[in-house]
C-alpha cells in the first residue's frame, strides 16, 4: 500500500500536520495532526509497503516490540483507509 500524494506532511510549531493540496482541499474537513510514530509511518508509505514491512520499520525505529508495532500499524492503516488517505 502507498499513501495518496494529495497530502503533504508539514511540521509546524512542533506539530506534524497532514495538509491537503490540490483538489483534495475541497474533499476533506481540514488538516490532520499526526503523532511522531504516525508521521514516521506516513513517511514510510512514500513507497509501496506491506503492513509487515511497516511494523518492522516501526519496531526498528522506536523502542517497541514487533507485536505492539504490528497492532499499531494495523490501527493506523485502518484509520488511513477510513479517511481515504491511501492510494
Domains of the chain: 7-82 (1.10.10)
Taking only the tens place, the pLDDT of each residue in 43-83 is: 999 999 999 999 999 999 999 999 999 999 999 999 999 88
Taking only the tens place, the pLDDT of each residue in 7-49 is: 889 999 999 998 888 765 555 566 889 999 999 999 999 999 9
Residue 29: predicted pLDDT: 60
> Could you count the other beta carbons within 10 Å of the beta carbon of residue 76?
20
> What pTM was estimated for this model as a whole?
0.86
Strand order across the beta sheet in which 15-20 lies: 7-12, 15-20, 32-34
Residue 26: predicted pLDDT: 55
Q: What gap in Å lies between CA 81 and CA 73, rounded to an integer?
A: 12
Q: What gap in Å lies between CA 48 and CA 33, rounded to an integer?
A: 22
Amino acid at each position: 500500500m502507498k499513501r495518496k500524494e494529495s497530502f503533504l506532511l508539514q511540521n509546524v510549531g512542533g506539530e506534524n500536520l497532514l495538509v491537503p493540496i490540490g483538489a483534495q482541499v475541497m474533499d476533506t474537513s481540514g488538516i490532520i495532526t499526526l503523532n511522531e510514530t504516525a508521521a514516521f509511518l506516513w513517511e514510510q508509505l512514500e513507497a509501496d509497503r506491506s503492513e509487515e514491512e511497516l511494523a518492522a520499520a516501526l519496531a526498528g525505529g522506536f523502542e517497541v516490540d514487533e507485536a505492539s508495532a504490528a497492532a499499531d500499524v494495523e490501527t493506523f492503516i485502518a484509520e488511513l483507509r477510513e479517511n481515504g488517505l491511501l492510494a
